[in-house]
Amino acid sequence: MIGELLCNSSKSLLDAMRIINQNAKGLCFVISDHEQLVGILTDGDIRRAILSGVDLNESIECFVSKDFVYAFQNESIDTIVSRLDRKIRIIPIVDTDYRVVDYFEYRQSAHFPVSNPTLSGNEFKYLTDAFFSSWISSTGSYIDQFEDKFSSYSDCVFGVSTSNGTTALHLALMVLNIGPGDEVIVPNLTFASTINSVLHANATPVIVDIEKDSWCINPNEIERAVTTKTKAIIPVHLYGQPSNMRAIMDIADRHNLRVIEDCAEAHGATFQGRKVGGFGDIGCFSFYGNKVITTGEGGMCVTNNPDLDEKMRILRDHGMSKAKRYWHEQIGFNYRLTNLQAAIGLAQLERIEEIHRNRRLYEDAYRKALEGKFCFQKDSVNGSRITWLVSALADSPSSRDSFMEDMHNLGIDVRPFFYPLSEMDIYKKFLRNPAPVSEDISARGFNLPTYESLKSVENIEKILKDFQKI
């Protein structure tokens, strides 16, 4: 970990920013070519430099605080603690040659949120390029690049970026002409945006139960729920797990139904070797801050149908004609993504395979440390899930709640699964048949912190040692 805090004095402010972002400590220890400590640079120092008009490519030598606190490795803890104050919470520890060998950090309460984005690639580079191009709204080269590259990544021909994942779902429903009098089948265990988008389209959601092993929508329950009013199915690839798209598409083909895939939590997941999002008519993704890749807020509709692509682009942009500017042929929406957001998304997409690998390493560490204590999310027989949030089941609701409380006391944000839609007053009337599986899974399920800012398996293992103290 100490190596992640060191920055050579010959490096630029931009280099220091990257180091500080990666170590998540708010500072770096500046060392000479001989590895001797020469100062400390904080994120506040960099902010002040930027506000004064300094070029980020300038060397950090002129901005390093020479008035800093350090300690020798043979000094007592009491002596080191006496040098802490309201501003100083991290003190470098040096040997007699002033080489940094360790650091002391005072934390009143450690905090590990369930998710946190890492912006360690080209995000800042692309964002500043978009900023200085003056194309900061809903037009610009980064939008085109992001749509093209993300749709290709999802094995689809077309990609239409949106302001968020919910508007992506609503846009898909609108271009498929789903509205009043139409029924749309949705799973009982999902985030509210899935059912909300159906209600925003003035259609009627029909809630069905999930499978015990995959936690995704149960094709048998879909079949039971189909009526003459059913027009669409929205399978949700829950917590990175692909739904059984073969069975779902068979049902859709037999009953002439539309399929909108909710892929908000499953960027890159596959079913029978194909990426999710390309099975149905339209696949909808979210790039919210807790997703695999993020644009802060944002979404994407992917499709292989050129007619749907064209309709979505028009409807997304106020229903304005592409041939005649400011001429509106239908009532549309402002569901556009900005060029600034797309710049961040493009940089995130460049690292998506690395992000997937890192998240799975963290999951492997959790599984190893908590082996036998919980039942972790299973891998589908025909699918390849991705690790969005590490997900597991306790033996009972009470043991789940007790575990979560203990974790919160350690500063670790363990989250419960989504509530079943049928348990909420505003949605319960849309449940057609009992849904005992989703009720059971929801009551016992929890998500563990999963994000790259945890940095390494070693850091994860340190957290897990605290877990074992319960």
311 is catalytic: no
**HEC sequence for 139-170:** CCHHHHHHHHHHHHHCCCCEEEEECCHHHHHH
Backbone φ, ψ for residue 314 (5° rounding): -70, -45
Beta bridge partners of 92: 103
Alpha carbon 304 to chain centroid, angstroms: 25
Q: d(Cα 32, Cα 11) in Å, to the nearest integer? A: 10
Place of tokens 């968020």: 164
Nearest-5° angle of CA 420, CA 259, CA 378? 50
Q: Tell the residue number behind the tokens 């995000």, with chain if given.
A: 123
Q: Are 159 and 148 in contact (CB under 8 A)?
A: yes
Beta-bridge partner residues of 283: 261, 302
Q: Which amino acid is present at 454?
A: L
CB atoms within 10 A of CB 230: 21
Tokens of 426: 């505003």
Tokens 């299973």 label which residue? 378
Q: Are strands 383-384 and 270-271 parallel, antiparallel or unpaired?
A: antiparallel
In the block, tokens 């890159």 appear at 268
The Cα 12–Cα 60 span in angstroms is 5
Alpha carbon separation from 2 to 7, 86, 323, 384, 454 (Å, rounded): 11, 23, 59, 36, 14
Q: What's the angle, vertex CA 403, arms to CA 402 and CA 408, rounded to 5? A: 100
Catalytic one of 291, 322, 368, 469: 291
Q: What is the dihedral of CA 381, 192, 449, 297, to 10 degrees?
A: 110
- What is the helix (H) or strand (E) element at residue 310, kind and residue range? helix 306-316
Structure tokens at 442: 């929801």
- Residues belonging to the active site: 291
